[in-house]
Each structure stands twice: as structure tokens, then as C-alpha cells.
Structure 1
Amino acid sequence: MTSPSNDTPPAAIKTSKAPAISRAAAVLRLLGKSESPLNLQTIADRLELVPSTCLNILRALVAEEFVAFDSDSKRYSLEAGVLTLARQWLRRSAFNDLVQPVLDRISREREITMLGVNIVGLEHIVVVASSQAGNNLQISAQIGTRFPALLSATGRCIAAFGNHREEDIKRRFDTLRWDDPPSWTQWQQQVKETRERGYAIDTGNYIAGVTVLAAPVWNASGKLRHALVALGISSTVQRRGMGKLEKDLLSAAKSLSQQLSGEG
């Protein structure tokens, strides 16, 4: 799975009501996405920060043990303190406790990649659990990866069940990047179909040759906070049985929703 959301855009940092926090978060996201440590100038350039301001942020993050500094290479990377926060959040998440065996089962039986995602309004979704099939050709997304909220099948679920204003949805939709982008009219029809059947399908729009399915998972307050996502090479999905996968995904999402609401 590719094309995760970008680092916090410089414009968003400049308009933030808490710019210091936005800048620190942007630095952490940038370091988290980088496959190798970065130097000060690279970080400042990518986030459009004044180097002296960027240095102060990095020093504060190093002091809090969220960022590590290598004095030999003069480069920065994430430190273990970030993991502490992540583990604390994961421990408190009932969804994470319940979803992993569900993902493992469907992934194994259908030979497909399964994800559990956390939905953050119209901003983005975050992968919080995953399971990959054992076949040779795999599509994957690392835990912690962020994607624009309205992208692919999950986005259709958010638009269908998230109770968001159409003008807000349209504004976000216009910024999305697809391999084969649907028109706004086509996408609205797909959202309507999602609402009617209870789950969404993206066949090659987001990533050419890849089918993505998503089903909503409701929390105890009846709000859409998570989703189950299945993704695989379209030919493989069809060969293994699209109908069976749809049934498994919807059944699992309903079961998880009942457990999270205390009904299961």
C-alpha cells in the first residue's frame, strides 16, 4: 500500500493555533517516515522552517527522549520515547485487543492483507494493526502509517457513515491523489452504494490493479472510529472469491462493533 499522507504541510504549521506543537509533530512525522537519519538542514528545508527554530525544536525533542542525535554524523532519528507513548495508547485501545486475531484469521483464509485502522475525522486514518498473507506477492502498510481519510474504500465508508458536511467532504476529495481518479459524481454514487450495502469497495481507483474493501466498526457511542480493510491484487481477490471476502469482512466488522459496544 502506497501514498501515505504527507508530512504536516508547511501551510498548516503556519496557520496552527499552537505552532510550536505543530512544528514538533511535523518533525516527528518526518523522522518517522524517513528510512535513514536526517540532518538539521534537510529537516528545516522539508518543513520550511528557519534552521535556528528547527534546531531548538530538535533539542527539545532530544531532551524529552523522543528524538536521538548522533554527534558523529550530526543526524537525527526517532528515539525510544516515542514507542513508550505508542505502547500506552495501544494498551488502552479495546479495538486493538480485539482486532488482531480477526485480521489474522481472514488474512490466512483469504490470502489477503488485512488492516485495522483508526479514523481521525476527515483528517486521516492511521494503521493500528495488520496481518499479511503468506503468498509471494504482498501488499502491506506498516503500523503507524497515515493516509488521507477520504482515500480508497475507507474514505467511502467515512463519507457514508461519518455524518460530515458535504462541502467539507468535497473540499477534501478535491485534494486526493489516485491512480485512476473517479469523478465527484462517480464517487458520490459509490458512497451511496456503500451506505446501502454496509461496506465499500475500491477496484483499482486508488492503486491500479489492487482491490480494497473496507467495513465500518462502531464504538460504544455509536460513532465511526475504526474500520477493517482488506486489500490485495485484484486478480487474486477475484480468484479467491470476492463474495466470500465481502461476507467475512462485514461479519467481522459487525462482531467487533457489538463487542466494543458491550453487546457481544
Structure 2
Amino acid sequence: MAPTSPISKRPATARVRPVPAVSRALAILRFLARQTEPSTLKTISQELEMVTSTCLHILRALVEEQMVQVDASTKRYTLGVGVLSLARSVAENNPFHTLAQPVLDKIAEDWNVTTIGVKVAGIEDLVVLALARSRSPFSFYVEVGSRFPALTSATGRLVAAHAALSPAELLKQFRQLRWDNPPDFAQWQKEVQAAGRQGFGIDHGHYMSGITVIAAPVTTAQARMTHALVAVGVTDQLTKGTTQALAKALLEEARTLSQTLGGRP
């Protein structure tokens, strides 16, 4: 019999004691991460059902640590550069970042598109871990550490295809997404099913007008989607044939990366 590992000796009932101040600080950071516009103290405290004075004290501490920044003129809060710095540190020490970066560089150079490597954090968020920019004047603003709703765009179709969600839950999540040109739910469902069959997802100008986004999943040996390789290009510069060829190239690289990381070949 193999020796029992130290981890297995921990009591099954062992629980981490809650630390209210930490939980509230994280709740504020997560709330701000979901917002597209700066938020007031009143909005934050009400949305999180937090006493206003408590919320203010935590915000001031987060501002001091550069996790949050506040506009002195409007008294509105957004995430600070400290969060991005932490995210970069996590990304740069992640094996996915190390292995994906040369792949992203090659695809960006060969196809003249912006390429992105993302971490799939459930059905809530995608986190950018690596990227390579195209040579074209087109600029898609994204940085390492940026977060996006997980079901948005081409990657979102893959996440939805891999998620064990009912149609009702998918509809609930779908209604919370933001698009330049929103597809209707029935159309989106068909594209989710197509992504599941083909192994890659494509968004033609729905997420961003005039922009085509292609994504391929990186999976574990149990077929769980953990990351994705994403290509972003100007629709007018990507013919139907080019888009399909790029999608297949991206999928092949994603499969190789899955195998290298110990996932599916």
C-alpha cells in the first residue's frame, strides 16, 4: 500500500475560518472587475449590501495599496494598477504562459492577427495570460491580466459548449452579455453547438463590429476546458477560406498544447 500523503491526513471537516474584512475586500474587487464604468461608494455599498462606512474604510485601504483607484473629482472607484501587477506575476509564472507565448507569436506573425492566451475561470470570467500583437494598424486593446465575461465572443461559445448548463441557465447568462451586434439566443445556441462539433468557435462581428474572433480550447485529459487560444482580426481582411484555415491552425496548436500540458492529445 502506498504511503498516505500529508494532504490526505487533514481532517475532512477542517474549515477555514472566515475573515470578514478579507471577504469584503475581495467582494469589492470582484464587483469593480465586472463594471464597465467607475462606481460610486453608494453603488458599491448598496450592491454588496455593505455598511457604507465599512465599505469606505476598505476602499481607502485598497486605494492605499493601489488595488483600487479613485477619481478625486468624481469620487468614483475603479480597479487599480496593483491588480494588474499581481495578474502579470501570476501569468508570467504560469506554465501555460511559458508554453503558449511562442505559439501566439508564431500565429500572429504568420496570419497577421492579434493572438491571446486566456485562462477559463468557470462560466464567469476569462483572464488574459499571454498575447502577441499583429503587424497591422488595427489595434485591439487588451493587456495581460484583463478580464472578460466567459461566455462572450468566440471563446464564450466554446465555454458554453463545454459547460453542463441547462438552456434556462444559458439564457440567463446570455442576457448578461454585452455585444456591439448581439445575436439572438437561438442563433447563439446553434453557434455553440457548432463550436462543440467543430472544436473551435468563431464570432463574426457580434462582439465587436467589423472584427472576427476565433478561439480553440486547451483541455485536460478529462476534456475539461481550462484555457483557450484566441485570434482577433479585421473581418474585411479575413476571407471565409482564410478564417477556416486559421481556425484549423489554431485548433491544431491548441491540441498540441493540451497534450504538452498533460491533457488530451
Moved more, 116-125 or 52-61: 52-61
In 1, the alpha carbon distance for the partners of 2:260 and 2:183 equals: 35
Paired AA for residue 175 in structure 1: Q
- 2:187 aligns with 186
Deviation digits for residues 210-249 of structure 1, max 9, x if unmatched?
1111111113554111111111110112299223311211
Confirm or deny: 8 A CA contact 1:200 1:215 kept in the other structure: yes
Q: Deviations over 1:128-169 (max 9, x none)?
A: 211111211222312222221111111110111233333322
Tell me, yes or no, if the aligned pair for 1:159 and 1:191 is still in contact at 8 Å: yes
**Residue aligning to 2:12:** none
Checking the alignment, whether the CA contact within 8 Å between 1:43 and 1:54 is kept in structure 2 is no
Residue 251 of structure 1 aligns with which residue? 252
Q: Secondary structure at the match of 2:183?
A: coil
Tell me the distance in 2 between the aligned counterparts of 1:69 and 1:233: 35
How far 1:77 sits from its partner (Å)?
8.0
Q: What is the alpha-carbon distance in structure 2 between the residues aligned to residue 203 and residue 263 of structure 1?
A: 28
C-alpha deviation, 1:75, in angstroms: 9.5
Equivalents in 1 of 2:78, 2:204: separation in Å? Answer: 37
Q: Do the aligned partners of 2:41 and 2:76 also contact (CA within 8 Å) in 1?
A: no
The aligned amino acid for 2:178 is R
What is the letter of the counterpart of residue 251 of structure 2?
L
Q: Which has the larger radius of gyration?
A: 2
- Aligned partner of residue 206 in structure 2, secondary structure: coil
Moved more, 172-181 or 84-93: 84-93
The letter for the 2-side match of 1:234 is T
The question of whether the paired residues in 2 share the 8 Å contact of 1:202 and 1:212 is answered with yes
| Cα separation, 2, equivalents of 1:186 and 1:76 | 37
**Which residue does the alignment assign to 2:217?**
216
Deviations 1:58-84, CA, capped at 9 Å, x for gaps: 34335667458999xx99887776466
* Alignment correspondent of 1:123: 124
Matched, 1:47 2:44: yes
Report what 1:207 is aligned to. Answer: 208
Contact 2:115 2:232 in 1 (8 A): yes
Go from structure 1 to structure 2 and tell me whether the alpha carbon gap of 1:220 and 1:239 turns closer, same or farther (over 3 Å shift).
closer
| Uncovered stretches (5+) of structure 2, i.e. residues with no partner | 1-17
- SS of the aligned residue for 1:176 comes to coil
Q: Which residue number in structure 1 is paired with residue 152 of structure 2? A: 151
- 1:28 Cα deviation after fit: 3.9
**Residues 1:192 and 1:67: Cα distance change in structure 2 (over 3 Å):** closer
* Equivalent residues in 2 for 1:14-93, closer than 5 Å: 20-21=21-22, 23-25=24-26, 27-28=28-29, 43-48=40-45, 51-61=52-62, 66=67, 82=83, 85-93=86-94
2:187 and 2:70 map into 1 onto residues whose CA distance is: 49
Aligned to 1:105, what secondary structure does the other structure show? helix
Bigger relative contact order (CA 8 A; separation at least 6): 1
Structure-2 change in CA distance of 1:175 and 1:58 (3 Å) = closer
- Cα deviations across residues 5-42 of structure 1 (Å, max 9, x unaligned)? xxxxxxxxxxxx987556423544687899xxx8xxx6
Aligned to 2:249, the other structure's residue is in SS state helix
Structure 1 residues 126, 179: CA separation in 2 closer, same or farther (over 3 Å shift)? same
Question: With structure 1 as the length reference, what TM-score do the two structures score?
Answer: 0.76
Letter in 1 for 2:185: W
Shift of 1:174: 1.9
**Superposed CA RMSD:** 3.7
Contact map agreement 2:219 2:264 (CA 8 A) in 1 = no
Is 2:255–2:264's contact at 8 Å kept on the other side of the alignment? no
Q: Which segment is superposed worse, 54-63 or 198-207?
A: 54-63
In structure 1, list runs of 5 or more residues that go unmatched.
Answer: 1-16
Corresponding residue SS for 1:241: helix
Residue 252 of structure 1 aligns to which amino acid in structure 2?
E
Q: C-alpha distance in 2, partners of 1:190/1:70? A: 41
| TM-score, with length taken from structure 2 | 0.76
Q: Alignment length, in residue pairs? A: 244
